[in-house]
Each structure stands twice: as structure tokens, then as C-alpha cells.
Structure 1
């Protein structure tokens, strides 16, 4: 019996496709997306398509690390609180001043943090070590050469590779690119995913439910998961359970889609419209050795001269999102040029005993505590129990050979947050 419920129904595991084999098949469906140059403010979450080098050094010039006074070291030698050295203040150097005068012997320039160091200056005395004078300043401590000075190129040198191909761009990476003067960056175009929600029983959230109807949730959930991993999602909702209408809904979107992602309609029962519509176009439907999420499909949809990869996920919501995490997310991340394609993995101590079906890799929803390196399940194993998934911060991975996992055992967890 085909089962998508995440419970212990008996299945002939000799006919199941191994999880790793199926994941590799899914990965091979998606080609790398092309590179493009994108404005810096639109690069968040995208992957670099090539290395980025520094056209200038950072800092670009010697500058002060403090608000205070630029001095020559010899002029403040011997200064202390009891016997301060007093110097005339001959110039103000705010940050951004470009015509900075040279510092003459026996004088000081008042200088602000980040301001260019005057020629001849050898140290910057913090204002806290002076009397703060504006015409003459009393320096209360001697400083060694180079004190409180940021040297040109101290952080980054010209020509240095600062961001490597495949790096996912976050706030710090974009800040560095901006500091180096890059207005745009070479990134891999994010994969474009058409998320298809089928089912005549589905109703838009907010509408009134009639008997036999349910609110549509898989499309919302999968489109969000697609965007969360750095891709673009278009949600096509409420396609009726009729083969010709499914074809008519898909075909206008083929030219601008890198992947068609569906959920539901792939099991062995009647009225499996996704399976009926796609099987004839070359999509292959399998049973995979995973729980939840055994019924899966993958291949290509061909029409109007277009050939677009298709991944069909089971319809029960937890099966759908677990299948996305295990099979689809890594493939999308790789297609989008990301160097890191997998969720972070940890080893954790299980706080309870669990049972798992023989011959299947089971994924359970869990709560990982980083302070104790322990993990506790959230909700039951049933693939319709979405609230446990919403409360979880990880997935527990129980291997195919395990049927009983005792409390205190060490297990693999995938961090979702």
C-alpha cells in the first residue's frame, strides 16, 4: 500500500529507491543558472558567480582610530598627568577633509575618527588623554609611534580576492563590497520556480469553508520555502483536478520557469491528477525509502518547444515540506550557484526513545537545545501533523537500519533556523 502518512505501515522496501540515489537524481535535473550583474541592494541572499577582488585598499589611506589630536611622537615624549606637554593646535581635520595640511614639528592637529592622517603625524592622542583644548592642547600621556592609526591596506590590499565564487551574500559581504566601491556584483540568477497547487477541495485562506473543503496551505508553504533558500517563486493556486485544465494552467509559464514544483496527486489512488497529467510527458513516479514522503515524482514537462524540470511532492503537508528539505532545497541551492547547499548538521543526544520503520530513512520534527546538545521530538510521526513542524527548529534523521532508537542515543539533526 502506498503510504504518505509517516506511520508504521508495511511496505516492500526492496522496491523503494534509496534516499541518496533519489536526491542525486533530483540534483541532476536542474542546470546551473546563468550569471548576471545585479545592483548591490538587490544581491541579498544571492550567490556570487565569480570571485570579487578589491580595486582599492581598505582603509584607502592612513586615518585616525580616535577623536583626538594628531602629533609627532618626539613632541609628546615624557608627557604624563603630572607634567603634560602643551602644543598649539594649528588645524582641524574632520572626516572627509581632502586638503589636509602637513603637521609641523611642535604642533598638533585636532582630528576626528576616520579622518586622513596629516603628513608628518606619527600618532593620534585620544581626546580623553588631553584637556580637549581647541587653540592649545595639554597632552597627558606619551604614546609610541603608530598609536591609534589605521594604516592603508591594513584590512584589504588592492587586488586581493575578498569574496569567493559561490559565497551567499549577506549583510557583511554587501557592506564589504560597498566599502570597496562596487555598485553591482556578478551573481548567479536565482532559479525561478513555479509552485503548483492542485485540488478541487482547496479554498483560499480567509474564505468560508464548505463541507469537504480545506484551506490551501502547501502552495503557501512551498513558495515560502523556495524564497527562503534564495530563489524566486510564483504560486499558481487552485488548479482543478482535471488533466486538461492542469496542462492549460502550466503551459503559459514554461518559458520563464526553471522548475515546476507540485504537491499532491502522486499516490496510487484514483483522481491523482498530477500523476495522470505528467506521466505521459516523461515524468517518472517512484516510491522512495523515506518517511514521511514515500511517493515522489521527477522528470521533465515538454510542450510548445519548452522542456522544464518537474518535481512532484506528496500532498500531506509534512511529507511535502520534509521532501522539499531533503530533495529540492539542495538542488535549488546548487542550481543557484551557492557553495553551501545543505542545512547545518549537528549531533545531538535524544531525550526519548523512538521507533522507526525498517528500510526507510525517517525524518522527525524536533527541538534542538544548543546549550545541552539535546533534541526532543515535536508532535507525532504523522505527516498531516503540521503544528509540530511549525514548532520545530530541526529535523532528526534516523537511518534506514534503525527500528528502535533508545533515549540517550546520539542522532543527526538538521537545523532549520
Structure 2
């Protein structure tokens, strides 16, 4: 529907949870593509990946040494070694061509297939070899130093679950199983529009009344880290015609349009009106701080999310709504940040009615995690995001949190180095 809110849409103030539910309902999983595993890092798999064969595919040695019948070594001791004939050698990558009979052994390398007849490995450091005979000075047992077929994964078992983001571990396993190419969900194409006559490039000299554009930088990084492909970004002046043209261009080549600024009710805030003209709006106010004005809608058929212009509001709003939407479009199984419980380092107060997201740094104490507010919490305080590990939830109707009170922290990253055990 073009020209206003979607029929039946309720544009009152929504809770964060209800707003996020609507955001996630408004986007779908994108098209699948086939990629070689070497090119699939960070993508999410479309379906469960079942092992076509066991891994390892054959019994192999965990040590350099000698493949033996374990029973031949039971009497071995440093003072009275057992002597076994060496009848061959097997290297990694070459199949064994001899069977180990009683009284014999085969020299074997790590990763090489265990020859028939052998059921244990004697490490080379417990042996000495001379003239085709190996002296064994320590016994082994059946299965000792042998990695059996299927010890890692059985044939037919699920190796990687649907919706898993592929990292080094997952991709290495798929490569070992020959599951390449792998079918994944393509990355969403995202265009970023940042509005405001006051904005200039970060490299520019700043005239009176102007500010450097940090929002484009932040949104590009946030969207890229969420797994999107940035196909365009533009600074849009506070002009209705320019805003209309920019949104038309953005929607034409994107899976998602993200904007900052222009979503409030000021005289030069044109984003909401433009989106209503080109598509529809589903919500635009959320009971949260920072970042109450948040727009969900569509420009034509392209989903749109509009965030406020304040730098901290952008970051918090992105984390609550845009990041989960991008991850849904990517087919990721996990959409939200992990949480942990932490002891609040200092008391906090606020008015009731909004869920506050308090920027914090985490420190690990003897009794668990501690959440330390990063400083002043105004939506314009960009320094509160420096070395910020996440946000502590200050419940909507609560007005005071005491020092030492337990809070839920949405973890953006964990602290490095000292203090982490």
C-alpha cells in the first residue's frame, strides 16, 4: 500500500520486544547461492549438512611408531624388550600393503592407515630398530594410539546445522567431508542514507554550525559486521525533493534501506512523509532510551528501517532492530546478542516508562561479572561507546537500580586481556 500507514498498523508507542517482532516479521530469508567452502566464510548454511562418510574414513595412527598386535607386546619391559620383525612401512596418504601377522610389525607415520592385523601402536620413543627388527620396551593395548574410523563423526550424522554461520571450524569440517560447494544464503544488499544539512565529510574543514558525519561511518561498520553487503551510502540534505529521490534510488538496488535522522516530527524531518508516499510505515515510536523514534516500513517493496540522528541512538537502535533483521535475511539461526548477568557497579536512576540501555564495560570479579557504566549516558555522548562491551537493561517501569544489583547485559563483545579468566 502506498500513501500512508499499512492498513491495520498500530503506530502507538511499542515495547522493544513487540517492535522487534514486527521488524523480524517484515523481512524474510534471501535467496540461496552455492559457494566453494574457501569463499563461504561468514555465510549461513541453508540446510543441515550431513556427513557423506565417516571421519576419519579409516583407522589411522595418532603417533609415529609401529603398528603391532597388542598381545605381542604385553611382556615388553625396558629390561627385557620384545623383538618384532619389521615387514614394511606405511606413510600418510598411502594405503598399507602388508598385514601384520603375529611376531611382526609395520613402521607407521602419524595419520597413516593402520594395516590389517594390527590393533595398537607403539610410539617410536619406546622402540629401537636395527637390521629389520624393532625392540619394544613398553607394552601397548588394543586401540592404543589408534584413531578409529568415525571417531570424529559417523556417516549420515549432521556435521553443521541449518542456519549456522560458517567459521574456520565449520568450513574445515565441510572441506574434510567434501561438502563443497556449499549452499548458503546470500548477503543482504544494504544502502545507507544519512540526512542533515549540517553534515560534512569526516575529512572536511568544519564551518560554524556544521558537524562531521560520523553516522555514515558507524552504520557502514555496524551493517558490515552484521553480515550485510553495503551497495551504497549517501548524505541527503534536508530537502523533501532530495530525500524523495535518494529513497527511490536506494530502494531500486537494495534488499534493505537504512537511514539516520529525519524520523522525528521536526520541520525538516522528511523521512517519514517520504516513506509514506513511496510505500508504508508500520511503526515509528518505541518505548526505549536512547532511540525512541524508530521507523519500520517499506519503500516500494524494499524493507526500510529509519533510526534517529543521535550517534548513540543509532548504535542502540541498530543493535535492537537492524542487526536482528539483517541476520534474519541472512538465514542465521541465532538473531540476538548473548546475555549474561552482572553486578551493577554504581547506582542508576531514571523516569519510568522506557526501557533504558545503559552502556557498560564488563570486568570479571571473584564473584562473577561486574557491569561498569561507561560514563554519562546521553544519546549524544559518543565517547560512551568507546571500549563499550554492551548494554545493561534498566527495566521500563523501574526508577532506580542500586549498586550491587544484578542486571542483564546484552554482550556486544567481551573484554580482552587482564581480568578475564
Q: TM-score, normalised by structure 2?
A: 0.90
Which residue is equivalent to 1:407? 403
Given that 2:36 and 2:182 are in contact with CA atoms closer than 8 Å, whether structure 1 keeps it comes out as: yes
**Partner residue, 1:60:** 57
C-alpha displacement of 1:88 = 2.9
C-alpha displacement of 1:36: 2.3
**Which 4+ stretches in 1 moved above 4 angstroms?**
none
Write the mapping of 1:9-408 to structure 2, written as runs, cut at 5 A.
16-131=13-128, 135-281=132-278, 282-283=280-281, 286-302=284-300, 307-371=301-365, 372-408=368-404
- SS at structure 2 position matched to 1:388: helix
Report the alpha carbon displacement of residue 180 of structure 1 after superposing the two structures with TM: 0.6
Deviations 1:303-362, CA, capped at 9 Å, x for gaps:
xxxx11111000000001101111221222122211111101111111110012211000
- 2 CA distance for matches of 1:391 and 1:208? 27
Write the distance in 2 (CA, Å) between the matches of 1:256 and 1:167.
Answer: 27
Deviation at 1:285, TM superposition (A): 5.8
Does structure 2 conserve the Cα–Cα contact (< 8 Å) formed by 1:188 and 1:337? yes
Q: Deviations over 1:227-273 (max 9, x none)?
A: 21222223412222222223333334434311100011111212113
| Partner in structure 2 of residue 9 of structure 1 | none
RMSD after superposition: 1.9
> Paired residues, what number?
400
Secondary structure, in 3 states, of the residue corresponding to 1:373? strand
Q: Gaps (5+ residues) in structure 2?
A: 1-10, 414-421
Asked whether the 8 Å contact 1:379–1:389 carries over to 2, the reply is: no
Alpha-carbon distance in structure 1 between the residues aligned to 2:14 and 2:142: 69
Q: Which residue does the alignment assign to 1:10?
A: none
DSSP 3-state at the match of 1:310: strand
- Preserved contact between residue 205 and residue 215 of structure 1 (Cα < 8 Å): yes
Q: How far did residue 134 of structure 1 move?
A: 7.5
Deviations 1:113-149 (A, max 9, x none): 1001111112110111112558332111111122111
TM-aligned CA deviation for residue 156 of structure 1: 1.2
Cα 1:245–1:204 change in 2 (3 A) is same
Change over 3 Å in CA distance of 1:237–1:252 after alignment to 2:
closer
Report the alpha carbon displacement of residue 104 of structure 1 after superposing the two structures with TM.
3.5
Residue number in structure 1 paired with 2:8: none
User: Per the alignment, in what secondary structure is the counterpart of residue 254 of structure 1?
Assistant: helix
Asked if the contact 1:89/1:134 (under 8 Å) is kept, the reply is no
- SS of the residue corresponding to residue 277 of structure 1 reads helix
Q: Deviations over 1:19-46 (max 9, x none)?
A: 2221122112112212222221222222
Q: Are residues 168 and 309 of structure 1, via their aligned partners in 2, closer, same or farther at CA, if it must alter by over 3 Å?
A: same
Structure 1 residue ranges without an equivalent (≥5): 1-13
- CA distance in 2 between counterparts of 1:395 and 1:245 reads 36
2:247–2:299 Cα contact (<8 Å) kept: no
In 2, are the aligned partners of 1:283 and 1:301 still within 8 Å (CA)? Answer: no
Measure how far apart 1:155 and its partner are.
1.6
**CA contact under 8 A between 1:219 and 1:235: conserved in structure 2?**
no
